[in-house]
């Protein structure tokens, strides 16, 4: 008998039995972990707070920060803490952190300091740098980092530099503290754009973010930006971005906008804006648009139509601002949810982002309740952010008037309410809070600025999205090519046998995604790498790789065509949609591919709509407009510019087709004011309009648009009156005459008044 052989066989049998036990227990642990994870994410099980008795006519008074904390209501299990308040800050509108976790606060010190917005445009605003000296989570020191600004609205940390953009000023600068005293002493022009932005400050671009695709986006311009050591370069988008105040992205770079002027809490998320806009019906569930405040809110711009008669609370979102997809790790069940501050409702909505067969649908996480609501009538949440400590941060402007002066003019509903309640008396305060789950505790402050590119790679898979994006950004800013091979190894690497069972799958794949985009930022994505990424198990990686193939499509690289063709049978609808979007770069060559994808998803409305766009050979609307009027000289540019201005500033209320939005704003197509005497539309644009329109009551007045130049207003009128209504185009000199005729007028027009005062 061969003893050695028997021993070998015995060892092998023991090894097999051992492996069977390992696999069995691994499976049990994996399934259990999966079930626990699923149950943990069923946030509908949150025990919501017991609602207090709602005060329909609350007392308006300044509460101390500690008193205000007692007036918050959160679901059980969540904690809210004060991070900063007056006198360290006043009139805060946004926050951001650099790589070492230092907090910058933008403060609009001149915003609505009285009912007439006196000195609102004076250069008295600032950026403050806040520090937590004893590391207890509460700020102890505030230093004015940048002073003498006009209503700062863009604030983006790079490394130890800060990009700043001001209201009315289209130039962008970087600021830096070179001597370590906490005050910026270096100012460098990064982007030159000398054209003054004369739009109302609520309608200007704001809140620049560094997106995962390494482009810098703002809320409502038709441009995006790219950082280079020599400055910012600019790329034109197919359409203007649809937002106002607030811009955020999910873990894969999907952008979420909001538009208070159109009473739209969330939009722009169905497809990436680099391909134009796509707004799908049913993007919110049936109850999503109804907020649930805990205090009477008489100061709604829409007037009594926006207020519940039973308790005086807001019945529809109106002043949404500063939204955030939460990507932190200290509220695990809330990861990936959208948080939307509503300063008129004194609340913060938490929305579940459902991916339903490629269509994105938002729904309130709670039934007839909100994630955060206050009974303090001065609570004005205007911004939210995921912090480096993994918590959700809320910026509270804590004030009386929240609407800008154009909407509080003589004759408006709001002016009456402001005077009656004394809202104009509460200014120059502000609070910043952080929220986390009681089962967790805030993480430590980061120290990333002085780490090498190689050291930063480990954070590309961090459970807190703030660390992932900051590490990606810093690696790209360092431009250290020595990490390229390591990043390629991450993208090409396998998950490992046990990673699925022990919770490593998510971080492995998110690290791959960031490694791939970091390589793109370092300009080191090549065809062999893309061919690997296109086959990755995670659909987010495949989608990113498809986007990165677009430059090769333009060059007609046959290898890329073959690699992309292999994805035509991909069953994930988001991969299919991205294929359709990217193949617009080669529309004629890929029509057969489009048809094949359509057949695979016969009932998918997103795929059908996206494919229809691909198969449409016509030019974009702006190109088509220029072509239509090209034989009429400058008129082609004027109408196209009018179209762009209309889409940016008018469509959110009057509809993209100018046929009006029920209960919001009247139609412009067929409007009597646009059919006859052209002075009527000029008067309305210059001074606004209040009261019923053609027998219909609308929520609030139309604000004056006098801030636009004569040329801009004439372009809008030429597009709406000349192109849409076929009633003749316009000469900008008429605008100048109309301005002069009514230069002393302070009030809105009414239709009755206009009927008796035609000139």
Confidence of residue 494 (pLDDT cuts 50, 70, 90): low
Confidence of residue 635 (pLDDT cuts 50, 70, 90): confident
Q: What is the pLDDT of residue 500?
A: 41
Which of the two residues, 587 and 36, has the higher pLDDT score? 587
Q: What is the C-alpha separation between 605 and 477, in angstroms, rounded?
A: 40
Task: Find the domain containing 562 and state its range.
Answer: 526-615
Q: What is the C-alpha separation between 304 and 312, in angstroms, rounded?
A: 9
Q: What is the pLDDT of residue 13?
A: 45
For the chain, what is the mean pLDDT? 88
Q: What is the C-alpha separation between 637 and 626, in angstroms, rounded?
A: 6
Query: Are 554 and 605 members of one domain?
Result: yes
Q: What is the pLDDT of residue 584?
A: 78
Q: What is the pLDDT of residue 184?
A: 98
Give the pLDDT mean for 398-420: 95
Query: Are 559 and 628 members of one domain?
Result: no
Q: Which residue has the tokens 């004011």?
A: 673
Nearest by Cα to 588 from 551, 620, 616? 616
Q: What is the pLDDT of residue 311?
A: 94
Integer CA distances (angstroms), 542 to 212, 537, 557, 579, 685, in order? 15, 8, 18, 10, 48
Q: Which residues of 47-73 are buried (b: 16+ CB within 10 A; e: fewer)?
A: ebbeeeebebebeeeebebeebbebbb
- Residue 183 in any domain: the answer is no
Q: What is the pLDDT of residue 91?
A: 98
Q: pLDDT digits over 43-80, tens only?
A: 445 788 889 999 999 999 999 999 999 999 999 999 99
402 neighbors 299 (Cβ within 8 angstroms): yes
For the domain that residue 604 is a member of, what is the CATH number? 1.25.10
Secondary structure of residue 180 in the 3-state scheme: coil
Query: Are 554 and 667 members of one domain?
Result: no
454 neighbors 483 (Cβ within 8 angstroms): yes
Of the candidate ranges 11-20, 381-390, 664-673, 685-694, the one whose mean pLDDT is the lowest: 11-20
Q: What is the pLDDT of residue 372?
A: 98
- Residue 628 in any domain: the answer is yes
Q: pLDDT digits over 350-380, tens only?
A: 999 999 889 999 999 999 999 999 999 999 9
Q: What is the C-alpha separation between 501 and 32, in angstroms, rounded?
A: 10
Confidence of residue 427 (pLDDT cuts 50, 70, 90): very high
Q: What is the pLDDT of residue 352?
A: 97
- Residue 95 in any domain: the answer is no
Query: Are 643 and 603 members of one domain?
Result: no
Query: Are 738 and 723 members of one domain?
Result: yes
- Residue 327 in any domain: the answer is no
- Residue 667 in any domain: the answer is yes
What DSSP letter does each residue of 466-510 carry, written as one string?
A: HHHHHHHHHHHHHT-GGGHHHHHHHHH----TTTTTTT-HHHHHH
Give the full edge-to-edge strand order of the sheet including 125-131: 92-97, 103-107, 125-131, 141-149
Q: pLDDT digits over 558-569, tens only?
A: 889 899 999 999
Query: Are 611 and 643 members of one domain?
Result: no
Q: What is the C-alpha separation between 361 and 5, in angstroms, rounded?
A: 64
245 neighbors 231 (Cβ within 8 angstroms): no
Tally the residues of the chain.
759
Integer CA distances (angstroms), 502 to 25, 506, 653, in order? 11, 10, 50
Q: Which residue has the tokens 């299990």?
A: 77
Q: What is the pLDDT of residue 45?
A: 52
Q: What is the pLDDT of residue 9?
A: 44
Of the candidate ranges 428-432, 597-601, 726-730, the one whose mean pLDDT is the lowest: 726-730
Domain boundary, last residue among 576, 591, 615: 615
Q: Which residues of 9-40 are buried (b: 16+ CB within 10 A; e: fewer)?
A: eeeeeeeeeeeeeeeeebeeeeeeeeeeeeee
Query: Are 742 and 629 members of one domain?
Result: yes
Confidence of residue 553 (pLDDT cuts 50, 70, 90): confident
Q: What is the C-alpha separation between 541 and 569, in angstroms, rounded?
A: 17
- Residue 713 in any domain: the answer is yes
- Residue 414 in any domain: the answer is no
130 neighbors 142 (Cβ within 8 angstroms): yes
Query: Are 645 and 728 members of one domain?
Result: yes
Q: What is the pLDDT of residue 496?
A: 43
- Residue 663 in any domain: the answer is yes
Q: What is the C-alpha separation between 471 and 460, in angstroms, rounded?
A: 6
Give the pLDDT mean for 157-168: 97
Q: In 378-427, which ranges are E strands?
A: 381-386, 392-396
Total domains in the chain come to: 2
Integer CA distances (angstroms), 515 to 267, 335, 457, 643, in order? 28, 21, 8, 40
Q: What is the pLDDT of residue 728?
A: 78
For the domain that residue 670 is a member of, what is the CATH number? 1.10.760.10
Q: 177 pLDDT exceeds 60?
A: yes
Q: pLDDT digits over 534-544, tens only?
A: 999 999 999 99
Query: Are 667 and 751 members of one domain?
Result: yes
Confidence of residue 437 (pLDDT cuts 50, 70, 90): very high
Give the pLDDT mean for 677-701: 90
Give the pLDDT mean for 195-202: 87
Domain boundary, last residue among 587, 615, 643: 615
Confidence of residue 633 (pLDDT cuts 50, 70, 90): low
Domain boundary, last residue among 595, 615, 635: 615
Of the candidate ranges 155-159, 212-216, 389-393, 593-597, the one whose mean pLDDT is the lowest: 593-597
Query: Are 725 and 633 members of one domain?
Result: yes
Secondary structure of residue 412 in the 3-state scheme: coil
Query: Are 631 and 601 members of one domain?
Result: no
């Amino acid at each position: 008998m061969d003893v050695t052989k028997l021993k070998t066989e015995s060892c092998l049998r023991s090894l097999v039995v051992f492996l069977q036990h390992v696999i069995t227990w691994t499976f049990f642990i994996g399934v259990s972990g999966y079930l626990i994870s699923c149950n943990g994410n069923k946030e509908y099980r949150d025990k919501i707070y017991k609602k207090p008795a709602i005060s329909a006519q609350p007392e308006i008074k300044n509460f101390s920060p500690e008193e205000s904390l007692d007036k918050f209501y959160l679901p059980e299990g969540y904690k809210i803490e004060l991070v900063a308040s007056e006198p360290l800050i006043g009139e805060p509108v946004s926050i951001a952190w650099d790589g070492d976790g230092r907090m910058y606060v933008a403060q609009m010190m001149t915003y609505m300091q009285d009912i007439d917005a006196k000195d609102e445009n004076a250069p008295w605003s600032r950026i403050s740098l806040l520090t937590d000296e004893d590391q207890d989570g509460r700020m102890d020191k505030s230093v004015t980092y940048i002073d003498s600004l006009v209503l700062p609205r863009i604030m983006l940390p790079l490394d130890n530099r800060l990009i700043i953009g001001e209201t009315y000023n289209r130039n962008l600068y970087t600021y830096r503290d070179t001597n370590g005293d906490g005050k910026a002493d270096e100012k460098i022009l990064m982007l030159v754009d000398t054209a003054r932005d004369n739009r109302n400050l609520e309608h200007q671009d704001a809140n620049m973010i560094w997106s995962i695709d390494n482009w810098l986006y703002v809320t409502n311009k038709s441009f995006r930006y790219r950082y280079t050591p020599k400055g910012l370069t600019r790329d034109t988008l197919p359409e203007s971005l649809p937002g106002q105040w607030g811009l955020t992205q999910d873990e894969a770079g999907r952008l979420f906008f909001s538009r208070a002027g159109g009473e739209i809490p969330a939009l722009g998320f169905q497809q990436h804006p680099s391909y134009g806009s796509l707004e799908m019906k049913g993007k919110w569930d049936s109850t999503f648009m109804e907020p649930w405040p805990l205090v009477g809110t008489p100061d709604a711009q829409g007037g009594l139509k926006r207020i519940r008669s039973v308790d005086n609370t807001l019945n529809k979102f109106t002043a949404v601002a500063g939204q955030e997809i939460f990507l932190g790790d200290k509220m695990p069940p809330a990861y990936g949810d959208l948080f939307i501050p509503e300063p008129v409702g004194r609340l913060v909505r938490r929305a579940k982002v459902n991916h339903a067969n490629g269509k994105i649908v938002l729904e309130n996480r709670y039934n007839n309740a909100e994630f955060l609501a206050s009974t303090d009538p001065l609570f004005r949440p205007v911004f939210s952010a995921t912090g480096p400590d993994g918590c959700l941060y809320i910026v509270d402007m804590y004030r009386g008037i929240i609407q800008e002066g154009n909407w509080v003019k003589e004759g408006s509903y709001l002016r009456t309410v402001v005077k009656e309640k004394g809202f104009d008396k509460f200014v120059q305060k502000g609070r910043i809070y952080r929220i986390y789950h009681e089962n967790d505790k805030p993480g430590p402050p980061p120290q990333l600025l002085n780490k090498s590119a190689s050291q930063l790679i480990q954070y590309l898979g961090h459970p807190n999205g703030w660390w992932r994006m900051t590490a990606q950004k810093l690696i790209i800013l360092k431009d250290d090519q020595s990490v390229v091979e390591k990043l390629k190894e991450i993208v090409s690497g396998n998950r490992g046998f046990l990673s699925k069972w022990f919770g490593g799958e998510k971080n492995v794949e998110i690290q791959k995604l960031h490694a791939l985009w970091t390589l793109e930022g370092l300009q080191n994505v090549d065809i062999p790498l893309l061919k690997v990424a296109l086959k990755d198990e995670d659909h987010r990686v495949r989608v990113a790789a498809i986007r990165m193939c677009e430059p090769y499509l333009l060059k007609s690289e046959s290898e890329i065509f073959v690699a992309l063709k292999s994805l035509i049978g991909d069953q994930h609808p988001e991969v299919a949609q991205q294929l359709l979007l990217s193949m617009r770069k080669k529309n004629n060559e890929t029509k057969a591919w489009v048809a094949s994808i359509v057949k695979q998803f016969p009932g998918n409305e997103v795929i059908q709509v996206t494919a229809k766009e691909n198969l449409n050979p016509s030019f974009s609307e702006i190109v088509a407009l220029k072509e239509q009027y090209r034989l009429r000289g400058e008129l082609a540019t004027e109408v196209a510019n009018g179209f762009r201005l209309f889409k940016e500033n008018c469509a959110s209320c009057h509809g993209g087709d100018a046929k009006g939005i029920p209960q919001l704003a009247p139609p412009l197509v067929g409007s009597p004011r646009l059919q006859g005497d052209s002075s009527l539309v000029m008067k309305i644009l210059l001074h606004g309009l209040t009261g019923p329109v053609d027998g219909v009551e609308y929520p609030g007045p139309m604000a004056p648009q006098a801030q636009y130049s004569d040329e801009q207003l004439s372009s809008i009128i030429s597009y709406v009156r000349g192109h849409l209504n076929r009633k003749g185009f316009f000469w900008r000199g008429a605008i100048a005459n109309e301005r002069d005729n009514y230069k002393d007028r302070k009030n809105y027009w009414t239709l009755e008044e206009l009927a008796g005062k035609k000139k």
